[in-house]
A and B are shown apart, each in its own frame.
Chain A
Amino acid sequence: MKSFGELNHYEILRVPPNASLIIVKRAYREALDVYKEDSLVTYSLFTKGEREDLLHTIEQAFLTLSDEKKRAAYNQMLIDTGRVDAAVFSTKHPQKPVSLFSDKNASMPAELAEKVKRRASDPSVKKRIGDLLAKEMISGADLRGFRKALGIEVSEIYAGTNINMTVIKNIENDCYENLPADIYLKSFLKSYADILGIDSHKIIAGYLRNKSQGMNL
């Protein structure tokens, strides 16, 4: 049987060199689970002496990596002896908490936002925005025309907003009977307007006005 030989403490516990304490602890528990005496995986694989050696090595690895001072000294030793490149210790995993209620625009693919911005600065498109927002009633066809003027595909809207493509098409085709209840529709329209960078209040109001009139006819 091959023992751990020249593996360093990180390799023995199978953790990356920048692993946090929690990960080191979990890895240690997992290693004990695999190498302990009555483990289903290894109980018949090693002799008593081999197992003691392996467990001792794992113990040493954990005691070093779980102690901040010892770990720093050990890292320095690894770097000094050239066994590990210093850069691997400095790269940290992103540990920012993710906001639950982050703005949809923030999670929108950056290139899509960039595209919308670029197109909206075009004078002809700017005029179109003005025309659209000045309208009392806004139909699905207006929205589609505007979307096309910006050069955005339905699939891109879907990717940015997670609104079902069928729903987007129904909105643009004024298929009122297939649209969801107003409360949902409003929120869809808001996302739709936000991703195209236009005033969502005016869009919602205009669209709903056009819709109620269409239904009454």
Chain B
Amino acid sequence: MPKIFPIGGGKGGIGKSFISASLGALIAERGPKTAVIDLDLGTSNLHTLLGIQNPPSGIDGFLKKTTSKLADMAVPTTTPNLFFISSLHCSMEIANLFYAQKVKLIGAIRNLPFEYILLDLGAGTNYNTLDFFLTASQGIFICTPEPTSIENAFRFIKAAYLRKIKRIIKTRAFNSAVKHAMADTPQKRLQSDGIIDLVLKYDPEKEPVLRTRLGRFSFQFILNQFRKNIDPALGEKIETVCNRHFYSNFRFLGNISYDERVVESIFSKKLYIRKYPHTATSADLKKIAAAITQNTPGGGSGTA
């Protein structure tokens, strides 16, 4: 079973694809066979960051059934051990993936013959993105130390958390009153703590089940574009607050320093860590790649 790391975060333009490409290359450099998959369906551009000009067909081939194995669609990159699956050639309407296709795709990703798989997700909190994020029990979310981004990151966490809770309740034998309340009218959609309250009210003996299942789920996060004037303890503070107020685990992976040359390397369509391997930003990325490969609890696969 591969270790899967979805890379998400509510806001756009915060470096999800940049971090996916860089971490993919750095993890592959350390030895394990690694794949990065562009799941930013409809607005994919991970190939450009990896320096691949015209990616051959990828997920589209799998969904159109020209091949039955997703693994056949992985193409090698300039980095040894690093493979790439594109979604560039998917149809223009791909962003609205059918549920069955999504389930099939997630299943196929879980069975890919790689040691590490990074999923580059799109912005937003639509169900596709959330479900891809919940594929593994250790999703990584990216945010930048700005109010807008942190706000969106929390929205993203809460959305993922809520979807996780709903899924746990749906798949386990919870009291029908709880299940019924969940399928409520859109006018009074439930928040996550509302659901937990409901469980406490109607199904108190199930509450520990919910708690342990949520506790097994963990979020990891990275603060990107970190500038010098920002509180250096911001990441730790977010980690502490989240660990206190959610039932899941949060792990802060580190800051990535801001560097103007990142944009320049994107313009020249080269991997930043190849072009500027000795900058502070590259060192930060290396540290995070090491943290991911050295401490990967739970073997990767999440709970369906």
Contacts and interface: CB of A to CB of B under 8 A. Distances in A.
Contacts of A42: 241
A77 interface: no
Tell me if A's interface is mostly helix, strand, loop or mixed. loop
B217 to A, nearest CB: 14
A2 B241 contact: no
B238 interface: yes
A139 B238 CA distance: 63
Contacts of B104: none
Interface residues of B, number: 18
Interface stretch (B44-52, B61-69, B242-250): B242-250
Given A1-B193, A34-B237, A43 B147 contact: yes
A45 B241 contact: yes
A21 to B, nearest CB: 23
Tell me if B's interface is mostly helix, strand, loop or mixed. helix
Contact of A41 (B192, B193, B238, B247): B238
B300 interface: no
B89 to A, nearest CB: 37
A99 interface: no
A44 B154 contact: yes
A44 B151 contact: yes
Nearest to B211: A2
Contact of B150 (A1, A2, A44): A44
Contacts of A4: 244
Interface in B130-166: 145, 147, 150-151, 154-155
A4 B241 CA distance: 11
Nearest to A39: B237
Interface in A1-24: 1-4, 14
A15 to B, nearest CB: 14
Nearest to A30: B237
A40 interface: yes
A41 B150 contact: yes
B245 A40 contact: no
B234 interface: yes
B246 A1 contact: yes
Contacts of B154: 44-45
A43 B155 CA distance: 12
Nearest to A43: B147
Interface in B177-193: 192-193
B234 A2 contact: no
A92 B19 CA distance: 47
Interface in A141-173: none
Nearest to A35: B241
B241 A40 contact: no
Contact of A1 (B155, B238, B245): B245
B193 A40 contact: no
A3 B245 contact: yes
B246 A2 contact: yes
Contacts of B241: 34, 41-42, 45
Contacts of B234: 40-41
A44 B238 CA distance: 12
B147 A2 contact: no
A46 B240 CA distance: 15
Contacts of A40: 145, 147, 150, 231, 234
Interface string B238-263: 10110011110000000000000000
A41 B235 CA distance: 9
Contacts of B145: 40
B52 to A, nearest CB: 37
A45 B193 CA distance: 13
A45 B147 contact: no
Given A1-B245, A40-B147, A43-B151, 17 more contacts: A1-B192, A2-B244, A2-B245, A2-B246, A2-B247, A3-B245, A34-B237, A40-B231, A40-B234, A41-B241, A42-B241, A43-B147, A44-B150, A44-B154, A44-B155, A45-B154, A45-B241
8 contacts: A1-B245, A34-B240, A34-B241, A40-B147, A40-B231, A40-B234, A41-B238, A46-B245
Interface of B: 145, 147, 150-151, 154-155, 192-193, 231, 234, 237-238, 240-241, 244-247
Closest 7 CB pairs between A and B? A44-B151, A41-B237, A1-B245, A2-B245, A45-B154, A44-B154, A1-B193
